[in-house]
Structure 1
Amino acid sequence: MDALLALHRQSRRTVVGLMSGTSLDGVDAALVHLDDSGPDLTMESEAFVHVPYPGPLQELIHKTTSSSSSIRDVTRLDARLAEAYADAVGNVLEEAGTDREALDLVGAHGQTVCHLPEPTDCAGEAVRATLQLGNSSTLATRLGVPVVGNFRAADLALGGQGAPLVPYFDHVAFTDADEPRGLLNLGGIANLTVLPAGGAPDAVRAFDTGPANMVIDALAARLFDAAMDRDGRHAAQGTPDHDLLADLLEGDFFRREPPKSTGRADFGAGYVDRLLSAAQSRGLSPEDTMATATLLTAASVYQAYAQYVRPAQSIERLIVSGGGVHNDALLRMLKDAFAPIPVESIAEHGVDPDAKEALCFAVLAHETVNGVPTNLPSVTGASARTRLGSLSVPGP
């Protein structure tokens, strides 16, 4: 208890943030020095690494996110992922040349295997539920460092979507006194944060807009036997089918008003099956299919902005992060859609585009220890603000 009180009283902390997202490809780890809180927060990034999952672990994760998973798989994967996260922490410390003893805290999002934010009957009671694996207590014990995990559950308990959580980071790091901004993260799923100029936390709006790399990567694997459409090369060689695109944009998720979040339940293997079937029935080439799916991401982001954001708050700049920032075809489509609003990489603002989500969970863990609420009800739909995350501590 004395150690926890000391950690709480400590203003400056060295924190590792861990993120393993819906791409299911590995763990992002960012080492950062954090001080103070809220709008006064200061952040000094020290190092970032991406640690790919070993093949057998990746296969098990894919299996566990599908209907073929077993409770034994889920239970064992919870422990196995903690070991993978411990390795990622070791790697980023080595990259930075930092000793384990200098580390104060770890924030671990965990691997989402199921996210069910809409209230549904369970044994006579309507519940919202989510499951992120990578046991925080196991990780804290392996590292000898306190770990904050399970960030989404408290918001769900208050009637929220439990997502997105990145908008708190966006608010404290990117709110500008004079310029209203959009922050777009292109991970497996695309999510948009809107920051009014000089706005307070309750003025922030954010929600998932639909698929980003999740569908594109799945199509790359099926059509080209590749992990991704590197640099958007295949999409650039194709021509989007606008009739198919219009049909896709009529999907249930796109017509649902915010607050909303999504994942593999909406845009996983079954969705890709249906998209491929529709493309084949229209005689589309693999390149045309990839171009259509890539434009789906750009068009769904702009459609969400135009329908749900612009009537109340226009933006003057769109700042993009996540793996999708490396897809030249996707970035070109976004620039075309949002013109004349400038679309630029978050790298132009001093943040590694690949590191943003890992940095976010370092910040959320830091604020959990500070006792600061970090969910945004204007974003998630929760009934109140609350502290996020469960704190696990190692033994003496």
Structure 2
Amino acid sequence: MNKNIQRLAEVAGQDERRIIGLMSGTSMDGLDVALCRIKGGGNKTQVALTHFDTIPYTDEVKAEIRKVFAKKEIDFQQLCLLNPWIGQLHGQMVLDCLKRWNLTAADVDLIASHGQTVFHAPKLQHQLAKFSNATLQVGDGDHVAVTTGIITLSDFRQKHIAKGGEGAPLAVYGDYFIFSKEGENRLMLNLGGIANFTYLPANLSASEVFTTDTGPGNTLIDVFARRFFDQPYDVDGAIAARGKVNLELLHILKKDPFFSAPVPKTTGPELFSIDYIRLAQQRSRTTSLTAEDLMATLTRFSAETIAEAVLKVLKPGEIYHVYMSGGGMHNPVLTGSIRELLPNCHFSTSDELGISGDAKEAVLFAVLANEAMVGGTTSFGDRQGVPTVSMGKISFPD
């Protein structure tokens, strides 16, 4: 037997697996690195987050990614070069974390690498009859594995699409396995670049669980924070707090067909871009809006579309607990508006469930890798957006 196959079988047979989850989202802040100790699989999964760090992307890295990010027309050579470059970069970031944590590659069984999304094209968005849903992440798994010397699972989203999903969001699987609680309806709300939530019913029925994007989370706020204030994001919502929401612009922003489409659904910065805002400003005759008022309006836009998506799934008379995660949970203007719009929900963060809200997405990919090793028996039914599927392509270090 090939020694790599033998090692993989040994990992699957262990009582506990040490898995590093890697996540870099559409906000492109950097790489989240979460080392987890995971026991069991399926609804018996037990996760302990032992180490976590976020390694910021340098301005150079961000600039290279933005050359192809969410653009229909690109330099194809740039895309080709990014795939191994990001893989090697992420691998080195893992090694740097292990050194800071006084650990070695031998202390880790697997890496679960999401990669860096550069384009997301669900059929709802591209509208091309002969093509299916599509998505593309760079950061090749072979390069992560060779750089670190650790078996790596990557490219999770392709199997989801192959089985009829849209490739995102994938949080539903990990959320269900580690956060479901009998007797409590939960919504795991991720306030990333694109916002999404997972519905976890109190009856623990896997056939009722689903996850959906709601639209922009931080992506537009971040774009205009960089554009007008030379800041990577609106720290503590301070810029939005100085502005006033423009109702005419807000009304036009919410007109896109995405918001009326049934759940589950997915989207990305390919739709919610600078051009989307420019067109909305032209239609609403708000091109002279101050930068502060624009930031206030964009923040309210995210809050209202998130809240309206949530309201569609709430059942009268039921109590719901919302657990927030992602960078947007640190923006009090955004979260305050969401709380205001959902007065009958109980709010907290995933930290209260034992997983840091900043680390949650990286942890979820570690759980997906664990499920590929020892799970795969939980049936989510045969529903759009939640196929019953095992995800992750395996790369060996030698």
Q: 1:263-300 deviations in whole A, cap 9, x for unaligned?
A: 12111232233355567726432222111110111100
Q: Name the residue aligned to 2:198.
A: 193
Aligned to 2:376: 372
Provide the secondary structure at the position in 2 that maps to 1:265: coil
Q: 1:310, CA displacement in angstroms?
A: 2.0
For residues 237 and 107 of structure 2, what CA distance do their matches in structure 1 show? Answer: 40
Alignment-derived partner of residue 183 in structure 1: 188
Shift of 1:117: 2.2
Equivalent residues of 1:146, 1:391 under 8 A apart: yes
Q: After TM superposition, where is structure 1 displaced by more than 4 Å over at least 4 residues in a row?
A: 119-122, 275-280, 311-315, 373-380
Percent identical pairs in the alignment equals: 34
**Within 1, Cα distance between the matches of 2:53 and 2:209?**
30
From 329, 332, 344, the equivalent of 1:328 is: 332
CA positional deviation for 1:128:
2.4
Deviation at 1:327, TM superposition (A): 0.4
1:1-396, aligned counterparts within 5 Å?
Answer: 1-65=5-69, 66-118=71-123, 125-275=130-280, 277=282, 281=286, 283-307=288-312, 309-311=313-315, 314-372=318-376, 376=380, 380-381=384-385, 384-395=387-398
The AA in structure 1 aligned to 2:21 is: G
Tell me how far apart the structure 1 counterparts of residues 373 and 289 of structure 2 sit (CA, whole Å): 53
Q: Determine if contact 1:189/1:262 at 8 Å carries over to the other structure.
A: yes
For the Cα contact (< 8 Å) 2:22–2:32, is it kept in 1?
yes
Do the aligned residues in 1 keep the contact of 2:92 with 2:148 (CA within 8 Å)?
A: no
Determine the C-alpha separation between the residues in 2 that align with 1:248 and 1:337: 18
Amino acid of the structure 2 residue aligned with 1:299 = E
Deviation at residue 58 of structure 1 after TM alignment? 1.1
Mapped partners of 2:209, 2:25: distance in 1 = 23
Q: Which sits farther off after the overlay, 185-194 or 255-264?
A: 255-264
Contact 1:112 1:132 in 2 (8 A): yes
Q: Give 3-state SS (helix, strand or coil) of 1:197's partner.
A: coil
TM-score by length of 2: 0.92
Aligned partners of 1:28 and 1:88 also within 8 Å: no
Structure 2 vs 1, CA of residues 221 and 378 (structure 1 numbering), >3 Å: closer, same or farther? farther
Contact 1:32 1:45 in 2 (8 A): yes
What do residues 64-87 of structure 1 show as CA deviations (whole Å, max 9, x unaligned)?
A: 112442221111100010111112
Q: Deviations over 1:109-155 (max 9, x none)?
A: 01111112218798x94332211110001111111111011101112
Distance in 2 (alpha carbons) for counterparts of 1:358 and 1:335: 26
Distance in 1 (CA, whole Å) between partners of 2:378 and 2:395 is 18
RMSD: 2.2
Q: Give 1:205 shift.
A: 2.0
Letter in 1 for 2:206: P
Number of matched pairs: 392
Contact conserved, 2:319 with 2:344, CA < 8 A, in 1?
Answer: no
Structure 1 residue 378, shift from structure 2 partner = 6.9
- Could you list the per-position Cα deviations for residues 293-351 of structure 1 after superposition, in whole angstroms to 9, with x for gaps in the alignment? 101111001111223x1258955211100000110111110110111322222223322
CA contact (8 A) 1:155 1:375 kept: no
- CA, structure 1 residues 11+280, in 2 after alignment: closer, same or farther (shift >3 Å)? farther
Within 2, Cα distance between the matches of 1:220 and 1:322? 18
Decide whether the 8 Å contact of 1:204 with 1:378 is kept in 2: no
Distance 1:125 1:248 in 2: 30
The amino acid that maps onto 1:394 is P
Report the alpha carbon displacement of residue 198 of structure 1 after superposing the two structures with TM: 3.1
Cα distance in 2 between the residues matched to 1:172 and 1:136: 25
Query: Contact conserved, 1:155 with 1:386, CA < 8 A, in 2?
Result: yes
**Within 2, Cα distance between the matches of 1:222 and 1:335?**
28
Q: CA shift at 1:62, angstroms?
A: 0.5
- Give ranges in structure 2 of 5+ residues lacking alignment: none
Displacement, 1:244? Answer: 2.1
Find the aligned partners of 2:318 and 2:111 in 1 and give their Cα distance: 36
**Does the 8 Å CA contact 1:161/1:259 hold for their aligned counterparts?**
no
SS of 2:204's equivalent in the other structure is coil
- TM (norm. structure 1) is 0.93
Return closer, same or farther for 1:82/1:282 CA change in 2, 3 Å cut-off.
Answer: closer
After alignment, is 46-55 or 206-215 more displaced?
A: 46-55
Change (3 A) 1:151 1:392: same
SS of residue matched to 1:33:
strand
**CA distance in structure 2 between the partners assigned to 1:88 and 1:208 by the alignment:** 29
- Please identify, of 272-281 and 313-322, the stretch whose mean Cα deviation from structure 2 is larger: 272-281
Q: Against the structure 1 CA distance between its residues 72 and 256, is the aligned structure 2 distance closer, same or farther, given a 3 Å change threshold?
A: same
